[in-house]
Every structure is written in C-alpha cells, then in structure tokens.
Amino acid sequence: MLTYDNWREESVTFDHEDEFKGALQVLEWSYKTYGEEIVYACSFGIEGIALIDLIAKVKPDAQIVFLDTDVHFKETYETIERVKAKYPTLNIILKKPALTLQEQEKTYGDRLWETAPNQCCKIRKLDPLNEVLTGAKAWISGLRHEQSETRKHVQFINKDDRFQSVKICPLIHWTWKDVWRYVSKHELTYNVLHDNGYPSIGCEHCTKPAFTMEDLRSGRWQGQGKTECGLHG
C-alpha cells in the first residue's frame, strides 16, 4: 500500500484519455487500495457533487466528511440534505470545530474571519480536518488544474506534507464545462448559489460572487490577500 511514509513518485499511473478523464479509475484504485482508511473531504460545491456520484458507483457506503464551520451558506446545508436523501447509504459526516463561534469570539475576538482569516481557517477547517485524517492513510479532494495557478501542479496521487497523508485528486483533468456536463447529464442536485455567480463556495462571510470566470476562485477572501484556506498548501 502506498502511504505517506513509503511514498515514491509515479508509483501508480492512470489513463486520463477515457470518458471520465481518469477519475473513475483513480477512485476504483483508491478504494481498493485503502478500503476504510480513506476519507473524502467534501465542500459540496459542484465538483463535490460530481465526485459524490462517482464515488457512489465505486463504494456506496463511503465516508464523506463536510467541514462544518458553522458559518456556511444556508443553501450549502440544504444541498447536503438533498444529497443525503439521494445517496442514503453514504456515510456523510458533518465535522465541527472544537470551538463554537461563541467560544471563538470570547478567545480571539469578534469576526475573526475578518481580523485574522488564516487563524479562523485553522480553527474551523484545518484543525478539524487534521482530526478527521488522524489514522487515515489517504484522503480525496476535488481539486482541478483549471481552478487556479496554485493548483496546476496537482497530480492524481500526491504526497501531502501538511497532513502527512496521501491526497488523491480524481478530477485534475476535468474542466469547468466537464463538471457541469456530468452534473447535467446525470440530473444531479447542486447548490443553487452556483446559478447566482458563485463558482467557488466556501464560508458565507468569506465568499462573494466571482469577478471573472477566468479565475473561478476570485470570489474567495476578497481584499484579504488570500486565495486558499490552507487545506491544499
């Protein structure tokens, strides 16, 4: 089994010229290799909706974790409930931070997402994911090359130094159009905010409509000099 500790580059390869651009092959290999020791950390954005449907084909009882920061859009929570109803055998877990919003405010001050967004992301996303990944050999992410400059280097299988795990990214070769084509073809439910100028959806306080479709993450942390929450480096 390929793990963080015995990592070796290019130990496994996949053909990305097929119908799913390698995604289904990657997922089949991943669940065959890691079994119950793999977690999908899902944001329930449009990439997540496509991935959930693909995962359900491979492992209908897979564990899917949503990092519930307590400050997501109501539309995101509504999407999760619809997905639960569509895939009742999936093990969908809402993972909350150790601190409630009230406890965070008491310790760090009000509206930490504005005064210290990196600290807020650490408390409400990074630390909870670290807890989720403790004991897990690998985790799945919906990263795509097209999303941003910082994601163009991502491979199907990655050594994740931050979480000392193997990070698997089945959709790296998918375009924005590929994702929507798949969702439309299979008539999948999705977050309605995508229809209102939000290609990338995070926490409510830190997400605005995107400036441009050439940068699908331009609506995240506007004015903060920040483009990532830290989950992906």
Which residue is catalytic, options 120, 121, 203, 229?
229
Residue reference for tokens 């942390």: 221
**Residue 91 is encoded by which pair of tokens?**
């093990």
CB 199 within 8 A of CB 193: no
What is the Cα–Cα distance from 53 to 98, expressed in whole angstroms?
30
229 is catalytic: yes
18: DSSP letter: S
Contact (CB, 8 A) for 95 and 59: no
Distances (CA, A) of 175 to 8, 56, 182: 28, 21, 11
Diameter over CA atoms, the chain:
52
Instruction: Report d(CA 33, CA 206) in Å as an integer.
Output: 36
Q: For residue 157, how many other CB atoms are within 10 A of its CB?
A: 23
Rounded (10°) angle between helices 23-34 and 46-58: 60
Query: Within its chain, how far is the Cα of 195 from the centroid?
Result: 19
Please identify every residue annotated as catalytic. Answer: 229
